[in-house]
Structure formats: C-alpha cells, structure tokens
Amino acid sequence: MKIGAYTLLTLLLFSFQTTVLSSVNPFGIQPDFCLVIACFIGFRTGPVHGLIVGFGLGFLQDLFSAGPFGLQTFTKAGVGYLAGVIARNLSNREPCSAFVPVMACSGLSAMVFLLWSRMGMGLGEMLYGFSYILLPQAVLDGLVAIMASWVFGRWLFEAPSP
C-alpha cells in the first residue's frame, strides 16, 4: 500500500516538476524536488530506504534527462543514503535543521554533475558552474527542504508507527 502511494506521489511530483514547475526558476535555477524527496525518505526511514527510493527517483529523472543515462540514478541513490546516515546523527529535529543536510547533499550531487558535464571545457566554465549553478541550487534545495519540513514536519521528524 505504502509502495503504491509513494510510487503515485513520485509520478505526480515528477510530472509536476517537469511541466508546471519548470517555469519556477528563480535566478535561472530550478530546485530539484526529487532530490529533496530522496533526502526526506532517507531522513525518515534510514539510509537503505533512502538509497532505494533515490535510485528509483533518479532512474525516472534519467529517462527524461538530456544528460548521460545513470548520472541522476546514482547521485540520487547516493543522496538518499547520505541523508539517512546524516539523520541518524542529527540531534536537532526542528524543520530548519533540514536546511544544512539537504544543502550538503545537493551540493555533493551537483559536484558530480559539474565534474561530469563541464570537465574539459576550461576553468571558466567550471568556475561559472560552481558559482552560478552549484551553490545557488544547493541553497535553493535547502530552502525548499525547510518549506517542505514545515508542511511535512510531523511526518518527517517522528518515528513511523509500528
């Protein structure tokens, strides 16, 4: 039942992000809602589930991405896992506490993309990518995580019922 609900939620969220939300891009940067969801699943249910859900979400994104196949799949899986590991060691459970972990996960994931897509294009492109894509996206994903934490805070920061 839960798997079905999560699959439906993922499909709707993905469709929403690629269509309606594609025009929501402050400063030309689009927040990655799938990354935030992968992090939240990691927070909520631990690294292994974060990894598996991240893998699924990334695979879905890869199907409709203009980049090489597999990049989204493995970065999202890594992010889900990392979020689960971070959550285990997180003592503060306020909504704002989601900002730093999600920002860190987004930054690390974006670093993989930066190296993959801009390597060999010169230092200028690398620095531009770091300053104008990687950093703003990490901050934006962190802010989205805070907003989502306020909405789903109860679900996110409390242990699942048996």
Partner 1 sequence: MRGRFRPGVFWGSGVKRVGVAVLVIVFVVFALLPRQSQFLFHTLGEPLADLVAIPVKGMAAVDRTLREWWMHYIALQGLSQQNRQLRETVRQLNGEVNRLREQAYMAERLASLLEFQEDESVRTVAAKVIGRSVSNWYQGVILNKGEDDGIREQMGVITPAGVAGRIVRTSGSTSIALLTIDPNLVIAGMIQRTRDEGMVQGTSQGLVRMKYLPPLSAVKPGDVVVTSGLTGGFPRGVLIGEVTRVEESEDSLFRTAQIVPAVKFRHLDEVLIVVSPRSPEAMLSLDHALMAPGPQNPTP
Distance from C-alpha of 60 to C-alpha of 63, rounded to nearest angstrom: 5
- Closest CB to partner 1 among residues 112, 146: 112
> Shortest Cβ distance from residue 146 to partner 1 (Å)?
19
Helix, strand or coil, per DSSP, at residue 70: coil
- 62 or 103: CB nearest partner 1: 62
What does the chain come to in residues? 162
What is the contact surface with partner 1 in residues (CB under 8 A)?
2-3, 6, 11-12, 14-20, 22, 28-30, 32, 34, 44-46, 48-49, 51-52, 55, 59-70, 72-74, 77, 84, 87-88, 90-91, 93, 110, 113-114, 116-118, 121, 125, 128-129, 132-133, 137, 157-160, 162
> Least separation, in Å, of the C-beta of 150 and partner 1?
17
For residues 116 and 11, what is the distance between their CA atoms, to the nearest angstrom?
Answer: 27
Residue 94, number of CB atoms within 10 A of its CB: 12
Query: For the CA atoms of 115, 61, 13, 110, what is the dihedral angle to 10 degrees?
Result: 0
Task: Please report how close the Cβ of residue 65 comes to partner 1 at its closest, in angstroms.
Answer: 5
Q: Please count the other Cβ atoms lying within 10 Å of the Cβ belonging to residue 127.
A: 11
Minimum distance from residue 147 beta carbon to partner 1 (Å): 18
Q: Which is nearer to partner 1, 22 or 96 (CB)?
A: 22
Number of Cβ within 10 Å of residue 111's Cβ equals 15
